[in-house]
Each structure stands twice: as C-alpha cells, then as structure tokens.
Structure 1
Amino acid sequence: MRHRKTELKCPICLEKFNTPKKLPCSHTFCEPCIQSYVQAETTEETKFFRCPLCRFKIEWSTLSASEWTQSKLQTDYMILALLERETNDSTPKQVYCEPCKIANEKNVAVHHCTDCKEFFCEQCFNYLHKRKIDNNLHTVTGITQDTDLKPLEMDEPCPLHSGKVLEVFCFDHKKLCCSICFATDHRKCDTVTSLDEIANEKKEQEEIYIDDFLNKLSDVEQCTKSAVDKAKENLGRINGDKESMLQSIADIISSTKSHLDTLHEELKLSIEKKFSDTENCQQFDIECLVAFQKTLFHDKGIIEAIKEHGSRKQKFVTLEKTKDALEKHFKRLCLAYNFSDSKKYVLDIEDELKDVQTLSTLATLPLQQSGENIMTDIKNKLCPLGCIGDQVTFQGSFPVSDVSKLPQFSGPFFHAKTLSKWVLKLSKKDGMLSMFLRCLSADCTDSSYEISTEFRLVNEADREKDIIKKYFNERFLYDSPQKGCSSIINWRILENEYISNDMMKIQVKVW
C-alpha cells in the first residue's frame, strides 16, 4: 500500500520544523516562530497568551520570550526523530548522537546500543555509556552504511514528572504512565501493560488500526468544518434578522409623534446592543471552532507522519496521546463555546398602540431555543476515536480559614456525555457542610436526563477515611439546575480531620 508523503510543518510558518518546541497543551512549533508569537501576543499588563492552534491559555512568566522558550519549553524529540527519518530515507543513512541532541549539539553517531535504544558518538559512548556498570552487558554495535537503523525509538517524556518517560499503559483508565504515575495512581488497576509488550502484540494490526483512526479523525475534521460553515451561516442570518427587525420597527414608528420617536430610539439602541453582544459571542464561537479544526488538521498530520516513519511503539503512544489531547481540547472548546448558534431573535410588538403615551417600551426581544446543537455532531464523531469518556472527575481545594466567605464555587468543569458545564458549590448551614453540583448549561441541553454522581471529601492523612456520598441514575431537571447532598458532615469533624493548611480537598465524579 503506497502512502502519500507527509511533511511535518510548523502551524505558524508552514515550513518544516526548526528546533521544535512543545507548549503545555502538547502542540509543537518552531522555536523562532513561538518566540515571535509570544512577543507579539504579550505585554507588560498581560500575564498569559493563547496557543495559536487550540487557544489554550498559557500563563506567562517574568522571563523574556527567548529565555522562556529555551528554558521552559520542552524540545519535541519525536518530531526531531521524524525529521531525521525523512532525511535518512532520501539520503545516505546517517543518524546523530542522542545525548548530544539533548545538549543542542549535532554529532554523527557511530555506536548503537540495542538495550538503551540510543545512538552515541565516540565521545558519549566512551564517557557516558561505558562508564556505567550496568551497561557492560548491553549489546552495542557499530554503525555502518549497511546498518539497519529501523525502527527508530524515542521514549516519550512524562508530561507530569520531569525526567521520567512513558513506560506503561493503564487500560482501566486509558492513560499513558511513567513509573511514578503507575506507583501513585495505578498500582491497584487490573490491566496495566508495558508499551513494549503492547507494541509487539499489536504489530499485525497496527496498519489497519492507524488507517481506521485516520479515517475517523478525518470525519471529525470534516464535521468541525461543517460546524464552522454552519456558524458562519448563522452569523449571516443574525445580521439579516437584525436588519429586517430594525426596518420593520422603523416603518411602524414613522407614523407616530414625538413620544413614539423617543421610544423608537430607545428600542433601536437596545436591539443594537443585544445583537452586538450576540455577534461577538458568535464570532468567538467561530474562532473556537476554527482553532479546534486546526488542531485536528495538525494532529492528523502528525499521525500520518508517525504512521509512515515511526516505530510501532511510537504509533501506539502517539495515538493514545492524541486521544487524550483531543478530549482535553474538545472539553476546552465546549467550556469556551457559548452555545449561541441555535438561538433566534423574535420581535414581540405591543398590541395596544392606541394609547402610545402610556407605553414604557415598544417591544421585547426574547430568544427562541431550538433543539439543534452542532457540538453534538462533533461529539458523536469523536466518540468512535475513544476520546470522549462517559465520566468526568473534578478535584479542587477550597480555602476554609474564613467561613464567612462561604458559599464558594469552583471553576467550571465539563461533562462531555451531556455537553454541559458544571460548578461545585460549598456552603455551611447549622454547623453542617453541604456540597452541590450546579449546571451552567441549562440553556443548551435537554430539559432533563439521568446522571450519577460521587462526592468525596478527602482525608489527606488517611485516604481510607475519605467520606463518600454516591447518587445513582438520578433524574436531573434543568428547571431546577442543582443537585448534591446537604448536611454531609458536622463542621467540627471537618475541622479535626479534613482540613490541611486551611484548605479542604474535594473530588466530584459525574457519569
């Protein structure tokens, strides 16, 4: 099967990557490109900038753009390896020393350790590899023109633990893990397998699996493109509705006297303001969808490249990382999205126009809600990729040193299954702590559905003492958008066992 050649290009300059650097949101750019972008997007007043692809908010530091990109951003060694593989496929075989690349040096490798899965120049081999006792038993071969250099293995660094690489995959949670991740969060999981074992087990199916993933990813990209087109169409319809309404009102008011003219001007200003706000929301929605579309296109390009040039392990790791990143990007898209595309403005004109002098307003501008939601289409396309889970877990720490500041609300978190945004509310009444979930998306989903929830009050000293309250398959009504449990625990017990450094940790799971 012949595949078209895929070029690895920076999303900013659209040229091949030059010193690829990875942002916290997992998107990669040329180091000079992201430096220039950061310099252009930040000022002394702003403390953050947004990823050019997914619009993820990245907190800024006091460093200069060049210092920040060099010291804080991780080099994307997988992209470097793929670029080298592209070069090696079209030129005489030549690879470079892995330790030298970490030091931003480029020296030709002359030794290959099959146990370490690394290439070394003469100096690094003699002074780094040979001087470790455990390495004396490793199999090391010299690199010649006839040396088979495939597959090229690059261990992926763990995004949570510096200096650690991804080694295993937890099938229970569908998470890539390093040794620390496994020891802290996945020791009790039933199915945890090393990446090397998975790569060997899936080698016969990898081509079919990747092709299927790429096809489904293309479906998501096409669905997102359709959503962008639909949002732009809605924006044009809103402009048409506005002009039609304003003209209609102008025709009615033109036959009245001075007081009616005054009311006309007041109503016109009100309509202009409401449509302006809606247009701004719709334009922002389009920007969010375009950013998500760019993310899908970028991820598809990376996967096509890894399919052609990567090892089996790289293919599996990249697919799982892409799934995890897509879920996060989609959640951020839905958290930012205003769900304003299906609203329609309808002018309600007062019937009693005979006594104009008694009127305080000429019309109202209510919104009519339709059942159409383009986010549902994108979600349904993402589900076959394994990116959208049926549950979401929120964890937050709340300051309780001053109980007069209760109730408190968490930041919003997103439940993909119901396309809804939620916040956690804490309150104190009659010496008891109460916790509630409150839905922020009552205007964009069905009037009711069933959800299950688990509230967990964390005991930092002894997790066996965590207080857990569960509610299964309860009917949730949006006309009363709040659910939870009241009087969960006596405040005195809370103070003795569940407050650490004046903070209280709470976990909430919704499924």
Structure 2
Amino acid sequence: MEIAPDKTDNLDDLLTCSICLETFREPKYLPCLHTFCKTCINTYILSTVRKEKTTTNFKCPICRQNVLMGESTGNPETWADKLPGNHFVASMMDRQAIRRSKKMCDSCKANNESKNALSWCIVCEEAFCESCEKCHKSFKMTAKHPIMLLNDLVSNKETVSISSLVYCEEHQGEIVKAYCVDHSKPLCTLCATLMHRKCEDVVTIEAAVQGIKKSEKAMTLSTELKETSKQLSDLIQNRKDRTTDFEREAQVMITKVSSIKDNIVKHLIKVEGLIEEEINKSKKEVSLKLFEKSVELESMKSTVDNWITIFDTCLQHGSELQCLLQINKINENKDNFSDLLTKGISEIKNFSMLLEVNDIVDEFSKQVAAIGVVKVIETDASCPNFLLRKTVNFHTGNINVNFVIDLTGNNVYLSGIFMNSELIFTHFKLSKVLKYNNNGCCLTYLSLPDKPFDIVQLSDTTAAVSTNNKTLFVVDIQKMIQCRKIDVLNEVHGFRHVNGEFILACNTTLTWINASSGAKIEQTSTNGDTYYIHANSRKDYICTDGKSVSKMVNNAKVFTYKSDKFLNPRGIDIDRDGNVYICGNVASNLHQLDKDGKLVRIIPVDSIGIKRPYVIRFKKNSNQFLVTCYETGKVVICEID
C-alpha cells in the first residue's frame, strides 16, 4: 500500500494550532489526538471550567470529546502542564523551520557568532557548521551521534526524522528505550524497572519498530481510518439530502393545505395560519435535529481526518518509533471513538411528514375546528457498518471461554473490570485489589484496610472500590497505591460512576453522591435487596432486587423482568449493543435481555465452567466479558463470536 504524498508535503495544517491559527508553541495533545499550543489550551481550559463549573474534566475544542483529568490532578491552572507534549509535531516543526530558512549553527550562536549550519545532530537536536561538526565528532560522548546534512533534509532525501529521540510520558527527561509487547506500551528505563519488570515480553525499541511502517498493522489501520472517513462523508451527505427531502415534503404539505383552502375558502382562512404554523414549527424542529446530527457526524469525521493526517504524515516523514507511537495512540482511542460513533449512529432517525385530513361534512365550519394534524414520523435510518470494530451477533453468537483465573477461596465476593490491557479484581476475603495481565498472570496487588465489594473505573489510571465499612477508596491502578478515601453513610455493595457522581446500592436503597466530596445528592427506594446497578445517567439506570430487574428512565419504569428461573439476581451489565445481562446467582445461569427487557436467552453457567455467577462485566466496546464465581473463587474470561 502506497502512502499518498499530497497530504504530507505541506505540513502547515498539521503544524497550525486551531485556536490561535498560528504555528504551535509547546504543542500539547489530548486523548482524541487533537493538538494545541500549551498557552491556548490552558486559556481554553480555564474558560471552560469557569463556565461549566467543573473540577474534573473539559471537552476538546474541536470534536467535543470529554477529557477526564481525574481527582488528583491539582487545580485546572496546572492541567495544560500535565497534558503530554506532541513530540512528533515538534519534530515536524523543526523540519519545516529548517526547510524554509537558513539554519544558523547553534554552537556558534552560543558564542555570539553567526555561521550557516550544514548538518544536524539527531541526538542533541542541534545544527552545526562544518567546524563545529568536526568538534562534535571529536568528543568521546558525542562521536557516535548520527549526523544528517540539512540539504538532504530540505530535498527530502533523508527519511530519518530530525528528532529520533522520544521521551517518556511518565518520567520527565527519560528516553524511550524499550517496548512492552504485553501492554503495547513504550518504556523508558524506569518504566521497565519499576512497572513492567514482571512482564514476559519486553524488547528493545529498535526491535519493536523494525518494519513497522510497512507492517500489516500499519496498513490495516491506515485503510480503516480512510474507509471510516469516507463512510462518515457519505453519512453526512445523506443527512443533508434528508434535510432537503424533508423540507420538500413540508412544502408539499403546505401546498396541499392551500389546495384544500381553495375548496373551503371561507373557513380555511381561519385555520390556515394555525396549520401552516404547525407545519413550519415541525419543519424547523426536524431540520434542526438533522442539522445537529450532521454537525455531530462532522465532528467525528474531524477526529478521524485528524488521525489520518497525523498518521499519514508519520508514515511519510516520521521515524519508525514515532510511527509505532502514533499507532498505539490511535488504537488506544479507537474503542472510545467507536463507542461514541456507535451511540451517534444508533440515535440517527429519519423523519417524514404526514397530514391526516379530516372528513369534509356538510356543515364543515360548525363541526370541524381544524383540517388535520401534522405528524412527524421518526424511523431508524439505514446506516453502514463501520470498520473500527468486529461485527458480533450478541443474540445468537457462541460463548467461548478464553481463559480462567483462579482467585482462590469459596463463598467469596469477587468483582472485576477490564482496564486498559489489564484485568483488575477485588477479593473480599483477602481485602485486596489484584492486577492481572491479559494472559491471566498476576502482576501485583494492593492490600486495603477494609474488605472490598465492587470496583468501577474512573479514568485511564484510577478506579474506585466499595467496601463493607462505609468507605470508598480511590486507587491508582498503574502505581497500585491508594489515593484517597471517601466516607459514605451506609455500607456499599455494587455501585457505578456516572457524570461525576457515584450511584450506590445498599439493601433497598439507591443513593447518589458527589464523586469528589461524597455529599449526598439524591436517594430512592427499590422493591427488594439491590446488590448491583448499571447506569447511563442519574435518571437512566437498571438495577436488580430480590426477584427481578427493572429499568428506570426519568423516574418512570420502562420494563421489569421476572422469571421462575431467575433466583437471587446479582451482577448486571450491558454489551455494546445495549443487551442486558444478569447473574442468576442461586439459579446458576445468566439471563440475557434485549434493550426493551425481553428475554433473548438463558445461559447455564456450567457451560463456561463455573457454578454461582456473581458479577458480570463487559470490556468497553468489545465482545469480551468476565464472570466471577461466588462458590469457587474463579473468574472466566469469555468472548461472544
């Protein structure tokens, strides 16, 4: 696969801050990979937090993706400093600067002399004249530094980046020297020594980047991104076409009303204004909905196009290391983006307009107050399947066991989550949080002062744990240390984190508290002992009780599911298509419901090698899930094909 040169020959778009519209100064990037000047994003963050009164997150100025800064990042004034620097963009800025002007020798400049530079040291990132280059090569420490000619860079003869060194994002000033295959993560010496010493597959960075530009992984990602961009373009055009069609339908309705008016002119004069107002109102509302969806899709396309520009530029001009890092960064964001994309597509509706005309009777003016009712018909749009995730039939797909983890013990409360490329579990009897890799090998653990019940993810690096002692603990999963403790009024069993709030399940009560302060916000009662809950927002949640599972939206019950094969319901979660899964603890089965609460199938858990299922959790935007067993202390990692 050849990389088209047209987007990478001119780097101005890639090197221009979209806030100040000037060349980047100290470029910082967000999780969505959009990059901004440090001062620009800092000003934007401070403006946003003041306006929205938030202390934990802000939204990307371009794609509006939420950026969660967490609870322990200090004041918003420091957030821009904590954002990672975009070394690739900085490298391209150096390259562009050299190509556009005569570069002066940095060593001579330090001595208040001016000589044109002829070469560039990749390690020191400095330009040298001929004499300074000879001096540079004469020192033992710098003799082996690779040197490239500036003329070769200007003429694009040299493919190596002018900045081949990449610094660790975890440890300031440390150079990336290794790569952990187990976690798909570049490492400095400190990373390899402190956090990845137990990993089985750690290689040198040179070995990791060997052939990465021409690898199937790189080519597949490039193809996926471009196909997704094209599909989004088609979908945006479809929305615009539907807007035109809908407005045309609205105009047809108005014309029809006018035709009726000609037949019954005396009375129609009185009602014509009302019916036209209703039609125009519906047209405006629907057109606005279609326009808003187009804007949302354009925002998503902006993200994908940004990835394409960055990735194509990296393939054309970046080093092998930079290419690897960009692949990792994009892949890390694909799941979150696919989740947003899936949600956006599921909300797409088509609209039509109908006019239900009343029967005309002899005494029309006395009997009929209006000639019809305007109705807007909303239907699901036919949308393409996007390439960023595997197609799975969750209703009929086979359930395969990938591997089993034995956490030891019987009659034990176990919970777990997928977090990045690792598995995190809580063990009630051991009073521990356990970290395993995606091959089922234990990496490390953290002992807690109280016995843990459940665990939920807060950010990329932190999780919260509920306990039997009226406390919640916030844990840094990367470092496996306890960050802080939140005191609550009651013992907490299952809980969820949504929009800066915790939703706590205890006995027959659900309680909403502020995730930062622990202050109580709201409380409601359930129909029985509620152990676990799944929530999209404060007003949209699904919870179990002693005999059933119910979904509530805006304080109204959407559905309640009951079954004589449904005993002691416990853990609850949903897959990426919205299907609901509940652990029948005593009945030894899993009940799968569709998004409307109708039974899809009952899965006996002996088919996956456990006896009494307690907690079920899906990996975000994936067909993988885990189930814990109360009786045996085992956890099975499964996949629906």
TM-score category by the smaller chain?
0.5 to 0.7
Query: Could you tell me which residue of structure 1 aligns to residue 286 of structure 2?
Result: 278
Task: Name the amino acid aligned to 2:89.
Answer: I
Alignment of 1:316-331 (within 5 A): 316-331=324-339
Query: Could you tell me which residue of structure 2 aligns to residue 507 of structure 1?
Result: 617
Deviation for aligned residue 1:371: 5.4
Matched, 1:226 2:237: no
Query: Could you tell me which residue of structure 1 aligns to residue 536 of structure 2?
Result: 411
Whether the 8 Å CA contact 2:29–2:85 is kept in 1: the answer is yes
Alignment of 1:317-466 (within 5 A): 317-336=325-344, 339-351=347-359, 357=367, 362-363=372-373, 365=375, 367=377, 369=379, 372-373=382-383, 376-377=384-385, 379-380=386-387, 382=388, 397-398=495-496, 399-401=504-506, 403-405=508-510, 409-411=534-536, 425-430=542-547, 432-434=568-570
Distance 1:232 1:470, change over 3 A: farther
The answer for unaligned runs of 5 or more in structure 2 is 108-116, 128-139, 151-157, 395-416, 420-455, 458-494, 497-503, 511-524, 527-532, 548-566, 606-613, 624-641
Distance 1:332 1:366, change over 3 A: same
Distance 1:192 1:229, change over 3 A: farther
Whether the 8 Å CA contact 1:456–1:506 is kept in 2: the answer is no
Task: Name the amino acid aligned to 1:55.
Answer: R
Q: 85-94 or 176-185: which moved more?
A: 176-185
Whether the 8 Å CA contact 1:78–1:156 is kept in 2: the answer is no
Deviation for aligned residue 1:318: 0.8
Specify which of 202, 205, 210 is matched with residue 214 of structure 2. Answer: 205
Task: Name the amino acid aligned to 2:375.
Answer: L
**CA distance in 1 between partners of 2:239 and 2:337 (Å):** 19
Query: Could you tell me which residue of structure 1 aligns to residue 635 of structure 2?
Result: none
Matched, 1:10 2:10: no
Deviation for aligned residue 1:220: 2.8
Specify which of 154, 160, 164 is matched with residue 153 of structure 1. Answer: 164
Distance 1:95 1:425, change over 3 A: farther
Q: CA RMSD in A?
A: 5.6
TM-score, with structure 1 as normaliser: 0.61
The answer for unaligned runs of 5 or more in structure 1 is 98-107, 122-137, 413-422, 443-450, 458-466, 489-497, 499-504
Task: Name the amino acid aligned to 1:81.
Answer: S
Distance 1:309 1:404, change over 3 A: same
Task: Name the amino acid aligned to 1:30.
Answer: C
Q: 146-155 or 185-194: which moved more?
A: 185-194
Distance 1:79 1:233, change over 3 A: same
Whether the 8 Å CA contact 1:347–1:366 is kept in 2: the answer is no
Task: Name the amino acid aligned to 2:85.
Answer: T
Query: Could you tell me which residue of structure 1 aligns to residue 34 of structure 2?
Result: 27
Task: Name the amino acid aligned to 2:372.
Answer: L
Deviation for aligned residue 1:279: 2.5
Whether the 8 Å CA contact 1:454–1:508 is kept in 2: the answer is no
Alignment of 1:231-242 (within 5 A): 231-242=239-250
Whether the 8 Å CA contact 1:285–1:338 is kept in 2: the answer is no
What SS does structure 1 have at the residue aligned with 2:545? strand
Query: Could you tell me which residue of structure 1 aligns to residue 301 of structure 2?
Result: 293
**CA distance in 2 between partners of 1:300 and 1:276 (Å):** 35
Deviation for aligned residue 1:274: 3.9
Query: Could you tell me which residue of structure 2 aligns to residue 448 of structure 1?
Result: none
Query: Could you tell me which residue of structure 1 aligns to residue 311 of structure 2?
Result: 303
Deviation for aligned residue 1:214: 3.9
Higher helix share: 1
Distance 1:303 1:427, change over 3 A: same
Query: Could you tell me which residue of structure 2 aligns to residue 51 of structure 1?
Result: 60
Q: 189-198 or 290-299: which moved more?
A: 189-198
Higher strand share: 2
Q: 6-15 or 250-259: which moved more?
A: 250-259
Deviation for aligned residue 1:54: 1.7
**CA distance in 1 between partners of 2:264 and 2:381 (Å):** 39
Deviation for aligned residue 1:281: 2.2
Deviation for aligned residue 1:335: 2.7
Higher-Rg member (1/2): 2
Deviation for aligned residue 1:28: 0.8
Deviation for aligned residue 1:80: 1.4
Whether the 8 Å CA contact 2:534–2:542 is kept in 1: the answer is yes
Deviation for aligned residue 1:315: 0.9
Specify which of 38, 58, 75 is matched with residue 85 of structure 2. Answer: 75
Whether the 8 Å CA contact 1:288–1:333 is kept in 2: the answer is no
Distance 1:478 1:162, change over 3 A: same
Distance 1:141 1:224, change over 3 A: same
Deviation for aligned residue 1:229: 1.9
What SS does structure 1 have at the residue aligned with 2:542? strand
Count of aligned pairs between the two proteins = 424
**CA distance in 1 between partners of 2:286 and 2:599 (Å):** 27
**CA distance in 2 between partners of 1:300 and 1:80 (Å):** 18
Deviation for aligned residue 1:56: 0.9
Task: Name the amino acid aligned to 1:331.
Answer: D
More relative contact order, 1 or 2 (CA 8 Å, 6+ apart): 1
**CA distance in 2 between partners of 1:354 and 1:485 (Å):** 61
Deviation for aligned residue 1:237: 1.9
Whether the 8 Å CA contact 1:214–1:303 is kept in 2: the answer is yes
Whether the 8 Å CA contact 1:409–1:426 is kept in 2: the answer is yes
Task: Name the amino acid aligned to 2:542.
Answer: K
**CA distance in 2 between partners of 1:44 and 1:177 (Å):** 37
TM-score, with structure 2 as normaliser: 0.51
1:366-398 CA-partner distances (Å, limit 9, x unpaired):
52636522xx25x14x45xx9x99999695633
- Percent of matched pairs sharing the same residue: 14
**CA distance in 2 between partners of 1:343 and 1:435 (Å):** 38
